[in-house]
């Protein structure tokens, strides 16, 4: 750990000029989670990446979902001369390179480091009973949505397919099993007799229909779909948070390799379900254990009645992550696009340029409990004219609660990477991962050696 401060930029004076006074926050501030809002070109991704750079340098591992390829460029060091000209000591870049490992994972693709999921891992037994129901519900519902989109399951079957899969998973969980090893095993259990399974599924779905459902599930284990579930790279949060040769990992999950929104929702939902169970096993801590970042968050935590796979688990994690040391950060263009229940758990808001009247009204309601009614009104009047990379940073835990800041220059290049870019930069690291023998911790979790994906930014 360094000085336990994250240097995000410089204060801006009342005339709108950037000063030489650094704006820093405590590493503990985001324990109560944060949201970054701003229209396209406002600099919200730059501020997000600045926070991730700083967190990793302070020893906080990062897991970042990257829908567009903007976050993956954290692996590309910036130009020391350019940094110096922008008021950032080049020594900071050396510190970043000495302290940080950036690993880019590409689900369903061999372009970057391998990562895969088991959608049938069951909730931790230490979870609250209501949360267990939510997690089982989410796993079943998300799998059915993928079957409808990818495997041709009829929409008219959605309700009964969900009921059959949910009841089966619940029965397996009550039988004290921790996971169903493969999708093909789930397919077999759907058509097994009730004595074998432990539950009569006939009231939910007729046998002939379960046969069809089982066939659809097996179709996910062939072709391109199987790449999501391959054994190689099975997600392991112990590994993702473990330092490598003293360096803190930034784990970027590059979602552009997933071809549909349904696949992205499915993948994130399963990762979050498994993160929640892992989080419970770690127990209470007062120290930051991990930072979880979702860029372009709106499709995954949408406002209103829409409930894509990740939404319910994100809301659950936002409610409970603080006591387990998980700091959550999201970025999106407009707060009106995010479910209001998320903001009930957020204590820090960074607002960039926003001009939409509807978005400003929603933001004002979010800011009032943090900054107060009068100050919130002042913030809202300033936002349409905000300069790029200028933000109004509001937190109930800061003194003063509201500050105008200019984001510091990034230590890394701020460019959008393609799959080919990732393949080029991860080629050597991918080869190292493939050479590393796969080990397990006794529960089937990947426990590959420390050199797996040990990519630093130098």
Amino acid 132: pLDDT: 86
Please name the residues in contact with 99: beta carbons below 8 A apart, sequence gap of 6 or more: 56, 57, 59, 246, 247, 248
Please report whether residue 312 resides in a domain. yes
| Per-residue pLDDT reduced to its tens digit, 60-70 | 999 999 999 99
Phi, psi values for residue 44, rounded to 5°: -65, -35
Please report whether residue 328 resides in a domain. yes
Residue 188 confidence class, pLDDT cut points 50, 70, 90: very high
- Give the mean pLDDT of 393-397: 94
Give me the domain span that covers residue 189.
129-225
- Give the mean pLDDT of 225-239: 81
My answer on whether 144 and 171 are in the same domain is yes
- Region of poorest pLDDT, from 135-149, 249-263, 340-354, 370-384: 135-149
Amino acid 445: pLDDT: 42
Amino acid 1: pLDDT: 42
My answer on whether 308 and 430 are in the same domain is yes
Please report whether residue 150 resides in a domain. yes
- Give the mean pLDDT of 347-373: 95
Amino acid 434: pLDDT: 65
Interatomic CA distance for residues 349 and 359, integer angstroms? 14
Interatomic CA distance for residues 336 and 302, integer angstroms? 9
Please report whether residue 374 resides in a domain. no
Q: Are 265 and 65 in contact (CB under 8 A)?
A: no
My answer on whether 49 and 82 are in the same domain is yes
My answer on whether 77 and 172 are in the same domain is no
Interatomic CA distance for residues 414 and 417, integer angstroms? 9
- Region of poorest pLDDT, from 52-56, 211-215, 432-436: 432-436
Residue 80 confidence class, pLDDT cut points 50, 70, 90: very high
Please report whether residue 398 resides in a domain. no
Phi, psi values for residue 243, rounded to 5°: -60, 150
Count how many residues are written for the chain. 458
Q: The domain that contains 431 carries what CATH number?
A: 3.40.50.300
Comparing CA positions, the residue from 425, 389, 344, 337 lying closest to residue 77 is 425
My answer on whether 283 and 346 are in the same domain is yes
Average pLDDT over all residues of the chain = 89
Q: Which two tokens stand for residue 432?
A: 């190292």
Which of 225, 251, 285 is the last residue in one of the domains? 225
Q: Are 95 and 215 in contact (CB under 8 A)?
A: no
Q: Are 342 and 37 in contact (CB under 8 A)?
A: no
Between residues 240 and 130, which one has the greater pLDDT?
Answer: 240
Interatomic CA distance for residues 172 and 189, integer angstroms? 10
Amino acid 231: pLDDT: 62
My answer on whether 306 and 354 are in the same domain is yes
Residue burial 280-296, b: 16+ Cβ < 10 Å; e: rest: beeeeeeebbbbbbbbb
- Region of poorest pLDDT, from 254-258, 307-311, 451-455: 451-455
Please report whether residue 389 resides in a domain. no
Comparing CA positions, the residue from 428, 104, 425 lying closest to residue 253 is 104
Between residues 457 and 331, which one has the greater pLDDT?
Answer: 331
Amino acid 452: pLDDT: 38
Residue 179 pLDDT > 70, yes or no?
yes
Residue-by-residue DSSP string for 218-240: HHTTSGGGGGGT-STTB--HHHH
Residue 374 confidence class, pLDDT cut points 50, 70, 90: very high
Give the pTM: 0.88
My answer on whether 179 and 312 are in the same domain is no
Amino acid 171: pLDDT: 93
My answer on whether 319 and 426 are in the same domain is yes
Amino acid 436: pLDDT: 58
Residue 311: count other Cβ atoms within 10 Å of its Cβ: 23
- Give the mean pLDDT of 123-143: 84
Please report whether residue 391 resides in a domain. no
The total domain count for the chain is 2
Residue 449 confidence class, pLDDT cut points 50, 70, 90: very low
Q: Are 44 and 36 in contact (CB under 8 A)?
A: yes
My answer on whether 210 and 275 are in the same domain is no
Q: Tokens 């499709």 — which residue? A: 299
Please report whether residue 9 resides in a domain. no
């Amino acid at each position: 750990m360094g000085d336990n401060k994250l240097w995000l930029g410089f204060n801006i004076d009342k005339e709108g000029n950037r000063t030489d006074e650094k704006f820093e926050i405590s590493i503990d501030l985001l324990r109560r989670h944060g949201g970054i809002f701003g229209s396209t070109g406002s600099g919200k991704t730059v501020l997000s990446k600045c926070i991730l750079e700083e967190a990793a340098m302070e020893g906080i591992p990062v897991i970042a979902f990257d829908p567009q390829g903007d976050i993956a460029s954290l692996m590309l060091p910036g130009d020391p001369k350019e940094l110096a000209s922008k008021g950032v000591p080049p020594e900071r870049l050396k510190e970043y390179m000495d302290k940080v490992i950036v690993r880019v994972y590409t689900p369903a693709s061999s372009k970057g480091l391998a990562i895969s999921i088991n959608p049938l891992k069951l909730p931790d037994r230490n979870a609250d009973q209501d949360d267990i129901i939510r997690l089982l519900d989410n796993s079943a519902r998300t799998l059915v949505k993928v079957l409808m989109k990818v495997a041709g399951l009829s929409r008219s079957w959605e309700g009964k397919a969900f009921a059959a899969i949910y009841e089966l998973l619940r029965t397996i969980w009550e039988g004290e099993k921790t996971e169903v090893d493969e999708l093909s095993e789930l397919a077999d259990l759907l058509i097994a007799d009730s004595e074998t399974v432990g539950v009569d599924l006939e009231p939910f779905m007729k046998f002939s229909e379960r046969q069809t459902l089982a066939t659809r599930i097996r179709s996910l284990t062939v072709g391109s779909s199987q790449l999501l579930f391959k054994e190689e790279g099975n997600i392991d949060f112990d590994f993702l948070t473990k330092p490598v040769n003293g360096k803190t990992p930034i784990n970027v999950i590059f979602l552009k390799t997933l071809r549909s929104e349904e696949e992205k929702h499915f993948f994130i939902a399963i990762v979050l379900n498994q993160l929640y169970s892992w989080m419970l096993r770690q127990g209470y801590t007062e120290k930051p254990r991990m930072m979880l970042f979702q860029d372009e968050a709106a499709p995954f935590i949408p406002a209103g009645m829409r409930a894509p796979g990740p939404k319910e688990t994100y809301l659950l994690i936002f409610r409970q992550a603080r006591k387990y040391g998980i700091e959550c950060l999201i970025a999106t263009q407009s707060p009106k696009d995010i479910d209001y229940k998320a903001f009930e758990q957020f204590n820090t808001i960074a607002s960039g340029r926003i001009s939409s009247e509807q978005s400003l009204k929603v933001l004002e309601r979010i800011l009032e409990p943090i900054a107060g009614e009068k100050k919130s009104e002042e913030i809202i009047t300033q936002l349409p004219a905000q300069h790029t990379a200028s933000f109004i940073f509001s937190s109930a835990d800061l003194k003063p609660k509201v500050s105008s800041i200019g984001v510091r220059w990034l230590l890394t290049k701020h460019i959008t990477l393609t799959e080919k870019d990732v393949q080029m930069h991860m080629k050597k690291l991918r080869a190292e991962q493939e050479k590393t023998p796969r080990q397990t911790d006794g529960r089937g979790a990947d426990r590959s050696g420390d050199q797996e994906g040990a990519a630093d930014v130098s």
